[in-house]
Copies of this chain bind each other. A is one copy, B any other.
């Protein structure tokens, strides 16, 4: 089967930057390519958009197929289209990013991927194509988002402590935040509430657990 057009058409792909926090470290999900070009190199999960699916759908599907991960919320990041960004043919890629709690990330390399794993943002492998650039821009975008809303809870389990929430901010922003001021700011945003439970069995005073208020579960720019 083949498809013919009167004018040349670029291929369109999606790439997804999945951020998660594991072992108190900010990590990103990559796959090891199983095919040329750049076979064996690490790259962002992604792939071709099917002709009758939406861009967001393609992003979720490719992420699932290649890594086993499910993203409930994706934000479109930017569209990269330099003519020379892929050696095969003209490929325009629509990049997305997601924040996923590590306890909801079940990773299993699939389709087109020899392997799939998380890398710390402090110890990145060499990346295929322009994916290092895409990642840089994604981190920048997340920083922006954090500064004007409670956005970080997407990376946390349903119940989380103030400390855990604060760590998300600290890892993205790359600076330490004052415990008291942080708590005040978050409470003022009025988007989370106490569960009444505490995080027990730790070798220090147990911390209160919080959850997202149900009103604030959805978010979808623009």
- Partner-B contacts on A (CB < 8 A): 1-12, 48-49, 51-55, 76, 78-79, 81-83, 90, 92, 94, 137, 140-141, 222
Contacts and interface: CB of A to CB of B under 8 A. Distances in A.
A81 B52 contact: no
Nearest to A4: B4
B2 A6 contact: yes
A132 to B, nearest CB: 14
Contact of A52 (B55, B90, B141): B90
Given A10-B49, A222-B141, A3 B5 contact: yes
A9 B6 contact: no
Contact of A83 (B6, B53, B92, B141): B53
Given A81-B94, A137-B222, A222-B137, A9 B7 contact: no
A8 B1 CA distance: 10
Of the candidates A12, A54, A79, the one having the most CB atoms from chain B within 10 angstroms of its own CB is A79
A185 to B, nearest CB: 19
B81 A78 contact: no
Contacts of A11: 5, 7, 9
A52 B86 CA distance: 12
